[in-house]
Chains A and B, each alone.
Chain A
Amino acid sequence: MQAPVDTPPLLAAPRGGPLWRRKLVNRVMTGLIVLAFVVALIPLFSLLFEVVKRGLPGLDWEFLTGTPRGVVGGGGAAHAIVGTVVITGVTAIISVPVGILAAIYLTEYGEGRLRRWLTFFVDVMTGIPSIVAGLFAFALFAIFLGPGIRLGLMGAVALSVLMIPIVIRSSEEVLKIVPNHLREASYALGTSKWRTIVKVVLPTAFAGLVTGVMIAVARIVGETAPLLVTTGIVDSINTNPFEGRMQNLAVYAYSEYRTPGVMKQASYDRAWAAALTLIAIVMILNVVARLVYRRYKTEIR
């Protein structure tokens, strides 16, 4: 980051003169810029405040351990918490190897047309709307397994479309800053290229890779739309991504809001509690990711 350039002090200007007017414009514009920043952060603080205020009442033991199965107007979100963990886990299992290997291709091997195409289309992929990713996974499975199909795995495939480009981008960044002299030193010892990558490049970049993956997970853990069309809505615990519907926290929050039971307020409370849980997960992932990077990053000189 570049140091901000400060305005040199100007001599006191006569009121109403051209210099005075220029300084006034400068003051006003600076004020507007600061104001814009404050305005941009109001939603963040309002949102965090409201989520905590409205989410805490519903966040009790029953919410964390119960399910709505056979309970009228009550129950908890255990099935959604389990579903979130399973779906996110499967997504990571698919996306992390593919993403990191593709990033290795781009930084270590890539040349010519394939490299150019891949760089370009990864950028394009980051812009795919999440609902479109969901429809893709649905279409893919519906063609082979019939249109009524809903699986945890389908959700994971949809989320992988969203997660892979994020993993590639962040991994590429950290692999790029591994200095070339480390690679050359390894080659000089007679080490082959792939062992150099596995034993020298990846360990050097390890903290950055972990950070990137955690931030990518944080981005997809709260997705709703793609799962609405692929994993469906269900009210009991399902740990098998290959069979049956599965719920995640975001879809749970949506369905509690959308179809509140007899006790409307209790449903809304649970929707807010789910929102609070999600935000907590996202924040923890973001903060821990940055701590990991600070604590374990290899000093590169």
Chain B
Amino acid sequence: MESSQATGAPPLTAAGPQRRWGDRVFAGLTVGSGVTILALLAGVALFLLIESLPAASASPAELPEGKTLVDYIAPLAFGTILAATIAVLIAVPLAVAVALFISHVAPRRIVLALGFLVDLLAAIPSIVYGLWGIFVLGPAAVPVLEWLEQKLGFIVFFKGPASATGRTMLVAGLVLAVMILPIVSAVCREVFTQTPRKLQEGALALGATRWEMIKMTVLPFGKSSIISGSMLGLGRALGETMAVTIILSVSGIVTFNLISQANPSTIAANIALDFPESSGLAVNTLIASGLVLFAITLVTNLAARAIISRQNIQ
């Protein structure tokens, strides 16, 4: 880069000054775009904050449901984290296996096509996942929910009564899991394929089976990618809106019961449900909840990126 920059400024010729002028304008444009993007991100935080302030300073009686801002947002934050946690618990083991399948098990000729199929999962709009969840997966899940209530009802998560429509936290978490699987899997896959070949061949030369080789070389090498990929997935699941909005039947309660008709809502779903019909302070309250969501996802993503950049340095 440095040397090319030196050659990039040719000695002064007749056209010299003119060229430098063009260079300055073009460089200015690119720097301007970069600064615009940083300003945009700062603007997201700033404008959400400005529009949240009226809700923060209002008395509880003026806010929706007559609760304080904290009491209003806390159950939503609980629901958000619960749904995202279910999604991550289901998606990560599957995503790691999918990544291993593509990087180490599948025949080489079809690897590209398989990767494309997994990427397609990420390309499907969330509204379509929502419709699929409520009309297809939800009804199909009802017998499973009933079975869980009967056989595992002693566990707090499956206390029931099982929903008759499938519009439950477990189904919403399942759909979120499908939606985040591609991103988790993509992050893992990239690092798995970079496992040093000499380590893998060494393991095999010592007589390891393929699984032993994966367990001893690929997984330890990719450990931090599994963690960072999971956190990126968690960030996605926390902020996912439409699928949850459509699937979950909400009642605003706080419960760990994953299979009943009464579920806590999530921040994002609550905004999508209430925003179109809200006005005045209700709008400010919803924006304040959005700011909390922004903060939660920001922390998650920063942690994920910090892990990724540390692993890149190594």
* Chains A and B are bound partners: yes
Interface residues of A (CB under 8 A from B): 1-8, 10, 22-23, 25-26, 29-30, 32-34, 36-37, 39-41, 43-44, 46-47, 50-51, 54, 97-99, 101-102, 104-106, 108-110, 114, 117-118, 120-125, 127-133, 135-136, 138-140, 142-143, 147-148, 161, 164, 168, 180, 183-184, 187-188, 190, 192-198, 218-219, 221-225, 228-229, 232-233, 250, 253-254, 257, 268, 271-272, 275, 278-279, 282-283, 286, 290
Name the residue of chain A whose CB is nearest to the CB of B237.
A129
Question: Known contacts A43-B178, A183-B4; is A22 also within 8 Å of B212 by CB?
Answer: yes
Question: Known contacts A37-B98, A39-B94, A143-B47; is A122 also within 8 Å of B294 by CB?
Answer: no
Chain A residues, Cβ within 8 Å of B235: 127
Q: Are B43 and A271 in contact (CB under 8 A)?
A: no
Name the residue of chain A whose CB is nearest to the CB of B205.
A8
Interface centre among A6, A33, A122 (most CB of B within 10 A): A33
**Interface flag for B7 (CB, 8 Å):** yes
Question: Known contacts A36-B94, A124-B41; is A5 also within 8 Å of B200 by CB?
Answer: yes
**Interface flag for B241 (CB, 8 Å):** yes
CB distance from B266 to the nearest CB of A (A): 10
Q: Are A105 and B121 in contact (CB under 8 A)?
A: no
CB distance from A189 to the nearest CB of B (A): 9
Q: Are B98 and A4 in contact (CB under 8 A)?
A: no
Can you report 26 A-B residue pairs in the complex whose CB atoms are below 8 A from each other?
A1-B112, A5-B210, A7-B210, A32-B97, A33-B101, A37-B106, A40-B121, A40-B178, A43-B178, A44-B121, A47-B124, A98-B36, A99-B33, A101-B29, A109-B31, A117-B38, A118-B34, A121-B41, A129-B238, A131-B268, A132-B294, A187-B4, A190-B13, A192-B10, A229-B271, A257-B131
Question: Known contacts A40-B94, A123-B305, A225-B268; is A286 also within 8 Å of B297 by CB?
Answer: no
Chain B residues, Cβ within 8 Å of A268: 135
Q: Are B268 and A129 in contact (CB under 8 A)?
A: yes
Partner of A139, one of B20, B32, B48, B130: B48
CB distance from B117 to the nearest CB of A (A): 6
Interface of B is mostly: helix
Q: Are B290 and A131 in contact (CB under 8 A)?
A: yes
Q: Are B290 and A37 in contact (CB under 8 A)?
A: no
CB distance from B135 to the nearest CB of A (A): 7
Interface centre among B101, B236, B279, B298 (most CB of A within 10 A): B101
Which residues of B (9-60) have their CB < 8 Å from a CB of A? Answer: 9-10, 13, 19-20, 22-23, 25-27, 29-38, 40-41, 43-44, 47-48, 50-51
Q: Are B93 and A132 in contact (CB under 8 A)?
A: no
In angstroms, Cα B106 to Cα A6, docked, is 11
Q: Are A143 and B9 in contact (CB under 8 A)?
A: no
Interface centre among A5, A22, A188, A219 (most CB of B within 10 A): A5
Q: Are B38 and A135 in contact (CB under 8 A)?
A: no
Chain B residues, Cβ within 8 Å of A120: 305
CB distance from B112 to the nearest CB of A (A): 8
Q: Are B275 and A229 in contact (CB under 8 A)?
A: yes
In angstroms, Cα B27 to Cα A8, docked, is 56
Question: Known contacts A192-B8, A192-B19, A194-B23; is A23 also within 8 Å of B209 by CB?
Answer: yes
- Binary interface encoding of chain B residues 198-222 relative to chain A, with 1 for a CB under 8 A from any of its CBs, else 0: 0011001001011111100000000
Chain A residues, Cβ within 8 Å of B239: 127-132
Question: Known contacts A187-B8, A193-B8, A195-B19; is A6 also within 8 Å of B210 by CB?
Answer: yes
Partner of B118, one of A10, A30, A40, A254: A40
Interface bin, chain B: 35 or more
Question: Known contacts A121-B41, A135-B287; is A105 also within 8 Å of B30 by CB?
Answer: yes
Question: Known contacts A2-B103, A224-B242, A225-B241; is A131 also within 8 Å of B272 by CB?
Answer: yes
Question: Known contacts A127-B300, A184-B4, A190-B13; is A219 also within 8 Å of B246 by CB?
Answer: no
Chain B residues, Cβ within 8 Å of A40: 94-95, 97-98, 118, 121, 178, 181, 185
Q: Are A233 and B276 in contact (CB under 8 A)?
A: yes
The 3 closest A-B pairs by CB, nearest first: A129-B239, A222-B125, A36-B97
CB distance from B105 to the nearest CB of A (A): 5
Partner of B209, one of A3, A25, A99: A25
**Interface flag for B260 (CB, 8 Å):** no
Chain B residues, Cβ within 8 Å of A39: 94
Q: Are B100 and A5 in contact (CB under 8 A)?
A: no
Partner of B33, one of A30, A98, A257, A278: A98
Name the residue of chain A whose CB is nearest to the CB of B193.
A2
In angstroms, Cα B259 to Cα A227, docked, is 31
